[in-house]
Amino acid sequence: MTRSFVTAGRILSGRGAAVGLAAEIVQRGRAVLLVHGARGERAAWLVRDLEAAGARVARVAVAAEPDVALVEAAAATARDHGAEVVVALGGGAAIDAGKAAAALAPAPGGPMAHLEVVGEGRPLEADPLPFVAVPTTAGTGAEVTRNAVISVPDARRKVSLRDDRMLADLAVVDPALTDGCPAGVTLASGLDAVTQVIEPYLSSGAGPLTDALARDAIPRGLAALVRLMETEDAGARDAMAHVSLAGGLCLTNAGLGAVHGLAGPVGGLSGAPHGAICGALLPHVLEANAAAGAAPGRIAEIRGWIAATTGPDLAGWARRHGLPGLGEMGLARAAMAGAAEAAEGSSSMRSNPVRLDRATLLACLDAAA
């Protein structure tokens, strides 16, 4: 079988990797669109460094997971500013918003021309602007993925804008930027990161390169997450940043599975954070795959890694540390059947190791509620 492995043009990783970031950015352009999280003061250091390096900086704040209106506005800001490079500094929402803005700013059509499932799904008609991704949470691995997840309120769905050219020119993964992240965010994003190495390990698209990354990252991520629920620990932050990066590499090249297949519709219906949804679903989808006979050897490995860290009841461990159920996140039981139906057509579901029917998907949602 012929395989390909794609990722960002360059990856800088390790504690201190963000030192000198402004110099890296201005090499790509001096008119900079900086996309960051809701708290603009957390990006002040980078604005100062960029301006000291001679850059002109326009800013877009992302207070929640991006929707169509936000990415259209961000792309318009990039055009109005004459942006030569887009930089995203923040969690997965900011990175996805920045990635989408870089892709759409030169594009003659809006996002609906290119979005999967609810849009036309057309390839981009122009190359994106150069894009630099700098995560401040350890979860999505979005710094090395070729898609941006966008909420479409009219369709009550979260779907992807996807193109190989959307891979970042530069990804900078500095665990120091995640230090002191609140416990609730650490838990949800960390479970997302773990999910994104477990699902590619079980995926029908798994291969030797992604297997090597996932096999190392799954137990490492579980152990680090347990440690961070006990105390702030730089070594555990370093480990989670690595696991998140590995997850982005794995999912881009091997695909995901039913957790993410369900997470898109659930996120669109509830507005809940993506990582928390994945964390709530993971134990139940894992059991559904096991019951369907999927990859028994690999599932046994994963169960062993879970038992050695969180204990065998991952769902109970997550609940004890504050992860809410899907019902608490806003998913009404009456909406679950529609979410299960929508999940069947998602791109992530195609790489689940076995087909899970609608009744099984509905049972997973019910168990995670």
Residue-wise pLDDT for 175-184, tens only, equals 999 999 999 9
Average pLDDT score over residue span 218-235: 98
The runs of H, that is alpha helices, within 203-313 are 208-230, 234-254, 258-270, 274-291, 296-307
Structure tokens at 358: 């609608």
Flag whether pLDDT at 271 surpasses 80: yes
**Burial label, 189 (beta-carbon count in 10 A; 0-12, 13-18, 19+):** buried
Sheet of 31-37: strand order equals 11-13, 170-173, 131-135, 85-90, 31-37, 56-62
Across all residues in the chain, what is the average pLDDT? 96
CA–CA–CA angle 39, 166, 69 (5° rounding) = 50
Average pLDDT score over residue span 76-87: 98
Flag whether pLDDT at 1 surpasses 80: no
For residue 145, what pLDDT band results from cuts at 50, 70 and 90? very high
The pLDDT score that the predictor gives to residue 137 is 96
CA quadruple 275, 186, 153, 60: dihedral, nearest 10: -140
Average pLDDT score over residue span 120-130: 92
DSSP-assigned letters across all residues of 288-328:
HHHHTT--HHHHHHHHHHHHTTT-S-HHHHHHHTTPPPTTT
Flag whether pLDDT at 156 surpasses 90: no
Average pLDDT score over residue span 78-95: 97
Out of 152-156, 211-215, 334-338, 349-353, pick the least confident.
152-156
Residue linked to tokens 């620990």: 233
For residue 318, what pLDDT band results from cuts at 50, 70 and 90? very high
Tell me how far CA of residue 275 lies from CA of 126, 306, 334, in angstroms.
Answer: 31, 18, 22
Average pLDDT score over residue span 258-286: 96
Angle of the 183-202 helix axis to the 258-270 helix axis, nearest 10: 140
Out of 20-24, 118-122, 191-195, pick the least confident.
118-122
Q: Which H or E element spans position 339?
A: helix 336-343
Backbone angles phi, psi at 14, to 5 degrees: 120, 155
